[in-house]
Amino acid sequence: MSHTPQPQTTENAMDTVSHVKNSRRRIAATLAGVAGTIALAGCAQNAPQDTWVPKGDNAQKIDTLQKIVFPIAGIVGVLVLALAAYIFIKFRDKGQAIPAQSHGKPTVEIILTIVPALILTVVGVFTFRTIMDLAKTEDTQMVINVTGQQWWWEYDYPVQTEQGISQPIITSGQLVLPVGTNVLLRETSRDVIHSYWIPALNGKKDAVPGRIHLLRLQADKPGIYAGQCTEFCGLSHANMRMEAIALSKEDFAKWVANQQKAYTSPAEGTKAKEGETVFINQCSRCHQVNGLKDANGKAIISAPDENVYAGAAPNLSHLMSRNTFAGAMFDLVNQKCRDDVWNASSDAFGAKYLTGVTTDCLNEKNLRAWLRNAPAMKPMYSDPTKLAKTGGKYRGMPNLGLSEDDIDKVVAYLSTLK
Amino acid sequence: MAIIERPAVATPAVVTPQQTLGAVKRPVATKGWREWLFTVDHKKIGIMYGVVAMVFFLVGGVEALLIRLQLAAPNGHILSADKYNQMFTMHATTMVFLFAMPMAGAFANYFLPLQIGARDVAFPRINALSLWLLVVGGIVLNASWFLGGAADGGWFMYAPNSGPIFSPSHGVDFWVLGLQIAGIASLLGSINLIVTVLNMRAPGMSLMKMPVFTWMILVVQFLLVFSLPVITVALVLLMLQRSYGATFFDVSQGADPLLWQHLFWIFGHPEVYVLILPAFGIISEVLPTFARKPLFGYPFVVFSGASIGLVGFGVWAHHMFASGLGPVSVAVFSIATMAIAIPTGVKIFNWLLTMWGGKIWYTSAMKFAIGLVVLFTIGGLSGVTHSVAPSDTQQTDTYYIVAHFHYVLFGGMVFGLFSGFYYWWPKVFGKMLDEKLGSWNFWLMVIGMNMTFGPMHILGLQGQPRRMYQWTEARAGEGFFNLGFWNLVASIGSFVLAVGILFFLINVVKTARNGKQAPVDPWDARTLEWLTTNPPKPHNFDRIPVVHHLDEFFHRKYDEDPATHTMRKVAEGEDLVRAEEAAADAHIHLPSPSYWPLVLSIGVGTLGMGIIYGIPLMVVGAAVTLFAAYGWVLEPSVAEDIDFEPSDTDGHTKEIAPLG
Amino acid sequence: MFTPGSKYFLGLTGLALVSAVLYTFLVNPSDLGAYALFGLFLNAAVVAGFSFFTRDGDADTVEEAIAANTEASAPSFWPIVFALGGALVLLGLATNEVVFVIGLGVFAGGAIEWAIQNWADRASADSSFNSFVRHRAVGALDYPGLAAVALGVIAYLFSRIMLTVSKEQAPIIFIIAAAIVLTVGVLIGSKPEMRGKTSLIVVAGVLVLAIAGVSSGISGERHELAVVSEENPYAVANRECGAEASAHYDHIANNKVPLKSAVLATIFVKEGKISAQMVGLKKDVDTITIPRSNATSILFRNLDKEEHRLVANLGEVKVGSTDVMEKVGTCTQLTGKDQEQVLTVSIPKPSFANGPYSLTVPGIDGEIKVVVP
């Protein structure tokens, strides 16, 4: 954000009041200068959720509107406060006589009603157009179902052959979309109301249980765009984050191909294979891994609805193709690799992202701590005394009480889920 | 208890009603704690409203400081996630329902009858009941802290997150019941004040000669009468859902959770004006007094206040631009919201033009009033920026909104209330608040307020959402002025603000111990409440004044020189008051104190707790309530002697209305 | 101040409270005994309150005593009410719980009113003053009580009417009704001469409501609310989900009024063909994706002349622990031309688990595939 008029007016407010006390113009002028400098330089650089840095068509529309509205508000504010400051100084008690008891002038009143009305009419016209533009769905090129629950998002890509998606893809944590494509999110929720917000791509839209809400997203360039759930959704609301990944069309096709890749079980005798057994016993009750088979060769279908109130748990089929886990709260990659991806130029981004989580990059510390005791890492409802109303079903992930040995095995197994 | 007048009837000769009707006599104590607990005097009730509100202001303030402490640094761990959620829920609830509304109630109760030249409100016992129900409601709300945790769903309490499954502790139950009880209090209070204003104005005071403060209070009471039933319905639905297994917001049973949002905001938006309009009223008294000019465009200010109230019912969905309403609704509510900026702008210009050409006297009261004008302007303009719905979808639920409504409600409402404290303190307590401490109080509050809430504009626009118990450096950006810096500034600012408020408390203590005795008319004021002693006598006015002008008191003091058209002083306020004393009315009837408002409130509170803790407690509550209702109707009309005044010479008797 | 009677009852109140509290904490709070003791406490408290306020019904000054004895008691119909209450209680015991409860109410009400009238009759020699005293003492009970009963009756009658009239007529009827109420209210408010007739108008209004309510109650609820499937709502095998008219269908198929604005997909039947559109996409699709474990609404719109219903086929599951497979699914009721219904499904298992899942319309070829990933 380079120009925010709002903080400027804030500082001006203090200035005008200090005028009154000191009535020394020089001090005021100095203060105004300082205030202006702070307002200009006073914003964070590269804030991931900055609402003034649009990276796509929809956010751009909002930004254009904001760039009309904020200056108008700023100018009106400066004018009004300047008038106020003038009055405060000019008409202070200097021993003048009690003024005439005039009760007002209707002409002035009417002018002062009409002028703001005209300004607001102008703003209103632009607003109306933008609202209608942002609600269009005819130009949709791709649909993604987005389902919120406490405290993560599930992304489900329905079959769309024109986008190369021949069988449904289920993922979580990171929303992957092709650049230059009008993507329509169909949001809903499994429990309470959440809100989907990627500031660089569009404003927010609530995900309400029982309803389908539409949100347009379009990204101009490959890159990673941060977001956050913005409707208060209970205990771990602060930890419900999201990241949108925009990939070039070729890279997106590669990503789709990887997601649709068949499951390969780890080789016999490896630690990962032992991990698969632990996973089947401990994790697959809730977490689906597509293609995972039990000892009899029967496909394992998780039943999260029997254990979790929302009735779903993140699908872990290609976990290592994502950079985050646990509702995008924790990085699956270490700081160096994370910076590498986040700071990559838009040309280099796709390749870096598609590398996934390599062994060098894996942030084992986070993953192990999570497997050791998930509720200690992220506040969730796993305490049996608080689950009476849900019939013992968890809201979030419980502490599984895995041994360190088991954790080693599961980490080894999970890192094979490329 | 209204004093009504009716033709004389033959009094039954055999018995006196007071003896027949019951064994309970009305309390007569005029000293000690009984005087306060059982009073029905609007002035004492007003003071108690103020004290209660101030206590809750400090409670809410401590909650706010804890929130800012938690957020001063990334990954704060002063509060757990659960405690933090409770903290922001209760901070908002406390500030809105237990500080702002009662404090406005304090001013309304104390000054409204004085400003319209009445001796009390229309229903004094109901007035006392409002106060005690509010106290009980506040206790129920805050008792939750000690009984398993407070409400944790945010003050907006969106369904289904507020349901029994997602909020399994009893916190929300306490919240629902506390607010219902406080809601009864507000509803009773508003009807009481409406009746008072419409029926008990001094002779000659037409509606358009009423002081603006009284006008704004009247508008607020109408807003309450129309909006409180809606929230009551919503609260009852939530109560049935939580305590009795109803499914009003259960999607699997065919419900739509947006129902709650509509119900809440149809109440919630008028509520915003309920909070701000009393402050507008206060400064509409203060600004003319200290500018020595009448309010510029009095009818415009009155009608803009009324139209803000009216339009305020048609803009609720601007709290729901991101809720998925559909583009047409969003556009309509967006435009309607912009429209509400127009009457608000009219008010600001009128205040500025009131000062134009005036002779401004910068007392602490005036400084706070000016503070309101300036800070509210900023808050109002940031409000216009998110009346623009697409822009709002980026800003809603971020700190930008927090900044906006704190500029409006803290910079607006709280500054207005503090202006009222300094302006009317001599009237209420007969002593002048210290001006020097007042100056410290004002400047620290201005600096603290801007330091706390100013940076939140930046925080919000750069993407920090609200209601997060922690923020992370990963999303805070880079550079010296990153979000961490502004979070820290805001936290420091909140403590500067707290010190500013501490100065007010010091000022109060200092004034109480050795404050300067207030003259009768310390500010050269304009309205009727100054046409009596400081503090006023129990019966307010020795003689009911007859009103000829807007700003009656001023026009009794000043006269226009027909030759030069300048104002000249013809009388001192003190002489006017003395003249009234000399011509005091005979037979001034005042309502007697009563036990029952207090007992009834306790009964209702117990009944509410019974909904949480089971039928036995409900039975006890119901018994006490019933008992109190009986006491209320059966107690004699007056403390002692008899019900009926001897006939006046005009053949009419004055009687205390029995059910007041 | 405290008369002997009130002292006795106050003592009883205290004793009952103490024993109730002790019992609650020491024995069992949810026990019938606790309720009985609290009930005793409540009763004793009410009686104590009465005798306290009415000084045991005694006039305590000499003049009052003399006065009270100089005038005969007014005629009273409370003994009859009291007796009627007793009769209803007995009748209720023999027949119906509702009658018993009503009888109990009438019995208690009659007793209280009788006692208070008796007390008031002895208050003074002036009968108009006595009636004022009586009014004041019972007003606190009968006004709220009668108001609650009246509101309950009105709400009940209204609900009968609303359940009978069709959804299209209901808004019109209630707009007209509201307009009439408003007009009458304005008339009463603006024309003082109307005020004397207020009670007449109210009685007339209630009468109209009563007639409408009773006749609606007799004619029964509107068709689509009448029958609810008793069996497992998802077991198609137990239900008639074919082309035939049947009494069984998804019992919440049609009550999702608010959700019609936010459905996942719309299924059309047009010219003997089935087609589907998903929200946000303006083209026909042959596969829809439903997120699992989510209450999801699908709108069914019939554009053909024949009646059709939408059936959701959700695979097969084992019946209990046997190996018998049973088809599961759900369906709407028969839907006429240009009408629509909402079908709500919540599918816990993905479609590859016990699928394939589909949406079909009996009597029409073709299906819409359902994928639950």
Read out DSSP for A2-59?
---HHHHHHHHHHHHHHHHHH--HHHHHHHHHHHHHHHHH-SPBS-TT-TT---SHHH
Is the pLDDT at B15 greater than 50? The verdict is: no
How many CA within 13 A on the CB side of residue B123?
18
Rounded Cα distance, C252 and A234, in Å? 29
What is the mean pLDDT of the segment spanning A298-327?
91
pLDDT for B654 equals 41
Give the rounded distance of the alpha carbon of A219 from its chain centre: 14
**Mean pLDDT rounded to a whole number for chain A:** 88
Rounded Cα distance, A326 and A370, in Å? 9
Q: How many domains does chain C have?
A: 2
Question: Residue C344: beta bridge partners?
Answer: C297
Rounded Cα distance, B516 and B518, in Å? 6
Question: Residue A250: beta bridge partners?
Answer: none
Chain A: give the shortest CA distance to residue B56, in Å: 25
Neighbours of C283 (CB within 10 A): 7
Rounded Cα distance, A284 and B23, in Å? 75
pLDDT for A228 equals 94
Higher pLDDT, A214 or A36: A214
A42 is written with which tokens? 């006073």
Rounded Cα distance, B629 and B659, in Å? 11
Q: Per the CB < 8 Å rule, is A47 touching B291?
A: no
Domain membership flag for residue C255 = yes
Neighbours of A389 (CB within 10 A): 14
What is the mean pLDDT of the segment spanning B30-50?
89
Tell me which of A198-212, B435-449, C132-146, C239-253 is least confident. Answer: C239-253
Instruction: Name, in order, each residue with C-beta under 8 angstroms of C348's C-beta and a sequence gap of 6 or more.
Output: A303, A305, A311, C292, C293
Note the pLDDT tens digit of each residue in A123-173: 999 999 999 999 988 889 999 999 999 999 999 999 888 888 988 899 999
Do residues C363 and C251 both lie within one domain? yes
pLDDT for A15 equals 43
Model confidence band, residue B31 (pLDDT cutoffs 50, 70, 90): confident
Chain B residues whose beta carbon lies within 8 Å of the beta carbon of residue C65: none
Instruction: Name, in order, each residue with C-beta under 8 angstroms of C77's C-beta and a sequence gap of 6 or more.
Output: none
**Mean pLDDT rounded to a whole number for chain B:** 89
Q: Which of C88, C118, C151 is the last residue of a domain?
A: C151
- Backbone phi and psi for residue A358, each to the nearest 5 degrees, phi listed first: -85, 170
Chain B residues whose beta carbon lies within 8 Å of the beta carbon of residue C41: 619-620, 623
Q: Per the CB < 8 Å rule, is C63 touching B14?
A: yes
Whose structure tokens read 């008990």?
Answer: B200
Domain membership flag for residue C125 = yes
Residue of B nearest to A85 (CA): B374
Q: Per the CB < 8 Å rule, is A188 touching C291?
A: yes
pLDDT for B524 equals 92
Q: Per the CB < 8 Å rule, is C55 touching B23?
A: yes
Q: Per the CB < 8 Å rule, is C34 touching B17?
A: no
Taking each helix axis from N to C terminus, what angle separates B364-387 and B327-355, rounded to the nearest 10 degrees?
160
Do residues C128 and C242 both lie within one domain? no
Is the pLDDT at B5 greater than 90? The verdict is: no
Residue of A nearest to C260 (CA): A211
Helices (H), B396-519: 399-406, 415-429, 435-461, 483-514
Q: Per the CB < 8 Å rule, is B360 touching A88?
A: yes
B186 is written with which tokens? 């507000």
How big is the B-C interface in CB pairs under 8 Å? 104
Stretch (H or E) spanning B64? helix B42-71
DSSP string, C268-294: EEETTEEEEEETT--SEESEEE--TTS
Instruction: Name, in order, each residue with C-beta under 8 angstroms of B562's C-beta and a sequence gap of 6 or more.
Output: none
Whose structure tokens read 């309803």?
Answer: A211
pLDDT for B256 equals 85
**Mean pLDDT rounded to a whole number for chain C:** 78
Chain C: give the shortest CA distance to residue A391, in Å: 16
Whose structure tokens read 């998780």?
Answer: A302
Chain C: give the shortest CA distance to residue A393, in Å: 14
Rounded Cα distance, A5 and A13, in Å? 12
Is the pLDDT at B41 greater than 50? The verdict is: yes
Domains of chain A plus CATH, in order, are 49-84+107-135 (no CATH), 141-418 (2.60.40.420)
Closest CA to B660 of B73, B125, B48: B125
Is the pLDDT at A1 greater than 50? The verdict is: no
A161 Rama class: left (phi>0) / alpha (psi -120 to 50) / beta: alpha
Note the pLDDT tens digit of each residue in C175-198: 898 898 889 888 888 887 777 777
Is the pLDDT at A178 greater than 80? The verdict is: yes
CATH (domain of C278): 2.60.40.420
Tell me which of B2-11, B60-69, B145-154, C325-334 is least confident. Answer: B2-11
Rounded Cα distance, A28 and A19, in Å? 6
3 state DSSP class of B245: coil
Using CA atoms of A377, A378, A384, A387 in order, give the dihedral in degrees to the nearest 10.
-170
- Give the neighbours of chain C: at least 3 Cβ pairs within 8 Å: A, B
Q: Which of residues 315-344 of A touch B (CB under 8 A)?
A: none
Note the pLDDT tens digit of each residue in B592-621: 888 899 999 999 999 999 999 888 888 889
Tell me which of B469-473, B524-528, C2-6 is least confident. Answer: C2-6
Residue of A nearest to C256 (CA): A210
Question: Residue B394: beta bridge partners?
Answer: none
Note the pLDDT tens digit of each residue in C314-330: 888 777 677 777 777 87
Q: Per the CB < 8 Å rule, is A127 touching B567?
A: no
Q: Which of C114, C129, C151 is the last residue of a domain?
A: C151
pLDDT for A351 equals 93
- What letter would DSSP give residue B296? T
Neighbours of A265 (CB within 10 A): 13
How big is the A-B interface in CB pairs under 8 Å? 363
What is the mean pLDDT of the segment spanning C68-79?
66
B141 is written with which tokens? 């709300």
Model confidence band, residue C73 (pLDDT cutoffs 50, 70, 90): low
Stretch (H or E) spanning A406? helix A404-414
DSSP string, C119-165: HHHTT-S-HHHHHHHHHHHHHHHHHHHHHHHHHHHHHHHHHHHHHHS
Helices (H), A135-241: none
Chain B residues whose beta carbon lies within 8 Å of the beta carbon of residue A116: 341-342, 345
Note the pLDDT tens digit of each residue in B408-447: 999 999 999 999 999 999 999 999 999 999 999 999 999 9
pLDDT for B152 equals 92
pLDDT for B177 equals 95
Question: Are B294 and B355 in contact, with CB atoms under 8 Å apart?
Answer: no
Rounded Cα distance, B415 and B371, in Å? 7
Largest Cα separation within chain C, whole Å, is 98
Domain membership flag for residue C233 = no
Residue of C nearest to B252 (CA): C295
Stretch (H or E) spanning A223? strand A223-228
Domain membership flag for residue C193 = no
pLDDT for C356 equals 84
Note the pLDDT tens digit of each residue in B388-400: 999 999 999 999 9
Residue of C nearest to B325 (CA): C261
Residue among C17, C124, C252 whose CB faces B254 most closely: C252
> Buried (b) or exposed (e) across C195-218, using 16+ Cβ within 10 A?
eeeeeeeeeeeeeebeebbeebbe
Do residues C147 and C254 both lie within one domain? no
Domain membership flag for residue C197 = no
Domain membership flag for residue C231 = no
Domain membership flag for residue C168 = no
Do residues C134 and C244 both lie within one domain? no
> In chain B, what percentage of residues exceed pLDDT 90?
72
* pTM score: 0.87
Is the pLDDT at C163 greater than 90? The verdict is: no
Tell me which of B134-138, B189-193, C130-134 is least confident. Answer: C130-134
Chain C: give the shortest CA distance to residue B181, in Å: 18
Rounded Cα distance, C144 and C254, in Å? 38
Whose structure tokens read 């607990």?
Answer: B37
Can you give A331-373 as a three-state secondary structure string?
ECECHHHHHHHHCCCHHHHHHHHHCCCCCCCECHHHHHHHHHC
Helices (H), C229-350: none
A415 in reach of chain B (CB within 8 A): no
How many CA within 13 A on the CB side of residue C317?
16
Q: Per the CB < 8 Å rule, is B566 touching A98?
A: yes
A-interface mutation test, from C281, C283, C288, most A Cβ less than 10 A away: C281
Neighbours of A253 (CB within 10 A): 15
Higher pLDDT, A38 or B474: B474
- Strand order, beta sheet including A223-228: A174-178, A241-247, A223-228
Question: Are A249 and A312 in contact, with CB atoms under 8 Å apart?
Answer: no
Q: Which of C98, C133, C151 is the last residue of a domain?
A: C151
pLDDT for B559 equals 87
Closest CA to B506 of B439, B447, B451: B439
B242 is written with which tokens? 């939580």
Q: Per the CB < 8 Å rule, is B339 touching A120?
A: yes
* Strands A152-157, A205-207: pairing kind: unpaired
> CA gyration radius for chain A?
28
Q: What percent of the residues of chain A are helix, what percent strand, and what percent coil, each to the nearest 5?
A: 45, 15, 40
C278 in reach of chain A (CB within 8 A): yes
Higher pLDDT, C68 or C173: C173
pLDDT for C21 equals 83
Do residues C259 and C363 both lie within one domain? yes
Taking each helix axis from N to C terminus, what angle separates B124-143 and B596-613, rounded to the nearest 10 degrees?
30
Model confidence band, residue C239 (pLDDT cutoffs 50, 70, 90): low
Q: Per the CB < 8 Å rule, is B616 touching C346?
A: no
A58-72, A93-107, C268-282 — which one is most confidently predicted on average?
A58-72
Chain C residues whose beta carbon lies within 8 Å of the beta carbon of residue A212: 262-264, 279-280
Q: Is the dihedral of CA B126, B132, B134, B140 positive or negative?
A: negative
A53 in reach of chain B (CB within 8 A): no
Chain B residues whose beta carbon lies within 8 Å of the beta carbon of residue C59: 15, 20
C-interface mutation test, from A186, A300, A306, most C Cβ less than 10 A away: A186
pLDDT for C260 equals 53
What type of residue is C109? G
Residue of B nearest to A40 (CA): B481
pLDDT for B636 equals 72
pLDDT for B216 equals 95
Residue among B256, B388, B558 whose CB faces A98 most closely: B558
Domain membership flag for residue C76 = yes
| Residue span of the structural domain in which C349 resides | 238-371
A-interface mutation test, from B340, B475, B553, most A Cβ less than 10 A away: B475
pLDDT for C223 equals 56
Note the pLDDT tens digit of each residue in C81-117: 889 998 998 888 888 888 888 888 888 888 888 888 8
Chain A residues whose beta carbon lies within 8 Å of the beta carbon of residue B296: 102-104
